[in-house]
Amino acid sequence: MGFGEIIREAREAAHLSQEALGKTIGVSGVTVGNWERGATRPRGANAQRLIEALDIDPLELLSSDPGIAMTTGLNSSSAERRRAFTANAKAPLYGRIAAGTPIEMLPVEDEQWVRPDVLADHPNGFYLRVTGESMNRVLPDGSLAFVDPEAEVGNGDVAALTVGGQDATVKRYYRGSSSVTLSPDSADASFKDVILDYSVPGTDEVSLIGKVVWFTAPYGGRL
């Protein structure tokens, strides 16, 4: 398989258009198209960003075309190091988190792969599993939400949080002067805002777990 085919297949597997991938890397969609046709090769930093954005095995890319090493700056030893680093980029999966009705968080289930650049930006991040459809515009049912417990949560951000000290959920978070609104982001209009009014005695407290900064599907599944 040629390097252009490798790029195209990885892009399509990631459900990205040429334009969307180009925006992620910092090039035009036309440039991505040229790479996929084999008209040009990714160079230097663009090659590194491409590998990271699509989780391409650098050794596979090198073996696809003898000339690729000259343009990308990759060699076998650097590719091996990158492969090892990528393989070890994992974060704990702490349990399930509701995207609908809040449910209790479950214990640690596993470790899951995380993109190395995401882990570098959020080294203390962890995964929570999303269940339900109330956030399906941004977090599909069954996806893994990557949560940074140290990131600042602003109004409108997607946040993992507890309600009443026991339950966990993920919603868009809005803090008012005396209230908190937990807002769904769903194609299903039956999901409504939950407003916690602290002028009313006995209202459950909301505690932030962290900001959802990325998500992925569990790796290793079969279609």
Burial 67-86 (b: 16+ CB within 10 A, else e): ebbebbebeeeebeebeeeb
CATH topology of domain 90-216: Umud Fragment, subunit A (2.10.109)
- Rounded CA gap, 121 and 99, in Å? 25
State pTM to two decimals: 0.61
pLDDT for residue 145 is more than 80: yes
**Domain ranges across the chain:** 3-87, 90-216
- Over range 164-189, report the average pLDDT: 92
pLDDT band at 221 (very low <50, low <70, confident <90, very high): very low
What percent of the chain has pLDDT above 90?
37
Amino acid at 219: Y
Read off the pLDDT of residues 187-204 as tens digits, 9 standing for 90 and up: 999 999 999 999 999 999
- Non-local (6+) Cβ contacts of 187 within 8 A are 133, 136, 137
What's the whole-number average pLDDT of the chain? 82
Evaluated on CA atoms 117, 118, 121, 125, the torsion sign reads: negative
Report the relative pairing of strands 90-98 and 126-131 from DSSP bridges: parallel
Q: Would you state the structure tokens that stand for residue 117, as one six-digit string?
A: 């650049």
Read off the pLDDT of residues 55-67 as tens digits, 9 standing for 90 and up: 777 667 666 665 5
Superfamily holding 3-87: lambda repressor-like DNA-binding domains (1.10.260.40)
Read off the pLDDT of residues 40-50 as tens digits, 9 standing for 90 and up: 888 767 877 88
pLDDT for residue 146 is more than 80: yes
Q: Fold identical between 3-87 and 90-216?
A: no
> To which residue do tokens 């968080």 refer?
105
Other beta carbons less than 10 A from residue 23's beta carbon: 14
Would residue 132 be called left, alpha or beta, if left means φ above 0 and alpha means ψ between -120 and 50 degrees? left
Tell me what pLDDT residue 70 has. 47
Read off the pLDDT of residues 65-105 as tens digits, 9 standing for 90 and up: 655 554 555 555 544 545 544 556 788 888 777 676 665 55
Tell me what pLDDT residue 222 has. 43
